[in-house]
Copies of this chain bind each other. A is one copy, B any other.
């Protein structure tokens, strides 16, 4: 059969991986897709790099729009990232009646509604498996594999950089700053790691997951985002002693009145499979009413793992390229006219367990004051750890794990605890999920 023609915009890490894997596995991919998938044009600012990777086997240009406007191209693969040129490229491709495959989570989390609406109106597909958890087919699992279910919550390790850092901090007892430097040296963290370590990348992905899980629009601006920069080695150690690991989780949970959408360091029981996902690996745990818990694990980044997702999308789009739009899977899992209007809940309304660490003077009555405050706020205690003060120290650490409570009640309790004369400094608060 006639090949389908792909225009690749951006031939960096993922683009290069996509070109390599499509070439290497061309025979098997064609046997699956039913027709050859051919990259027939590449746009990149670095023409020399593009020439090296492709060996000049296709049209090369430094002008993305030359490819987007090329009438021979059926599918545009957008791999330049960011919100600016990438957005213009995607919208122009859609306007030109081309299907789009993208790995751009930032673009979709922020401008997804505009993009999906344009695509639906023009009758083209925008596929984005590579935008969340790299090579793990989690978009497909949620959007197609679990269609029978009312999804209750999703909790994912969806940023490899931060999981690598947390694994190293725990393993080696090092501080965040020390491990970050090591991660940068090894290439697990970028020179400017802000998007990763502040939780923004994970929040982009969690936003996309929340939309396809619950049939709501993408609403990155409503997500609660907290990174791992303030985590101390002591917290990882205390968590361990209490039977927990600390992971940066992206969480989307359905509640009666709305949806919780949040990224933050989270204590997870050490016995859970997801607590044992180490290094730069990703995993997404999904709780749904019919199937129960399912977990999806694999590499969340890297040239070929991400290319795996890009090419899976290319095969899907190739199969359905000439089918009527009603035969296709809706972009956000639910039909565009059937989205729900469940709001994203503000963080104050969120329900989680709490890990509270505080430094107090070692004198009678302090613990009674603290537990009284928690009781006043209807917060019940699940476990407590008090470190023996060292000789002459005069102060000690108290760690309290609470059962699930409403965030604003915990806020109120923390404010009152911090006002106690015996308190030294602030209360460190982390959230806890049993994921049971």
Contacts and interface: CB of A to CB of B under 8 A. Distances in A.
A320 B319 CA distance: 11
A163 interface: no
A415 interface: no
Contact of A149 (B25, B31, B129, B136): B25
A292 interface: yes
Nearest to A214: B28
Contact of A326 (B29, B32, B34, B289): B34
Interface residues of A, number: 66
Contact of A145 (B129, B295, B334): B129
Interface string A137-156: 10011001111111000000
Interface string A170-204: 00000000000000000000000000000000000
A334 B31 contact: yes
A129 B312 CA distance: 18
A7 interface: no
A227 B45 CA distance: 58
Interface stretch (A76-84, A297-305, A385-393): A297-305
A315 interface: yes
Interface in A268-306: 273, 276-277, 288-299, 304-305
A215 interface: yes
A347 interface: no
Given A292-B305, A297-B295, A33 B137 contact: no
A61 to B, nearest CB: 25
A212 to B, nearest CB: 10
A290 B11 CA distance: 17
Contacts of A28: 149-150, 215, 334
B137 A141 contact: yes
B290 A148 contact: no
A95 interface: no
- Which 4 residue pairs across A and B have the least CB separation, nearest first? A137-B145, A148-B311, A294-B298, A135-B291
Interface of A: 17, 21-22, 24-25, 28-34, 129, 134-137, 140-141, 144-150, 215, 273, 276-277, 288-299, 304-305, 307-312, 315-316, 319-320, 322-324, 326-330, 333-335, 338
11 contacts: A24-B150, A135-B291, A135-B294, A147-B315, A148-B307, A291-B298, A292-B298, A293-B298, A296-B296, A319-B327, A319-B328
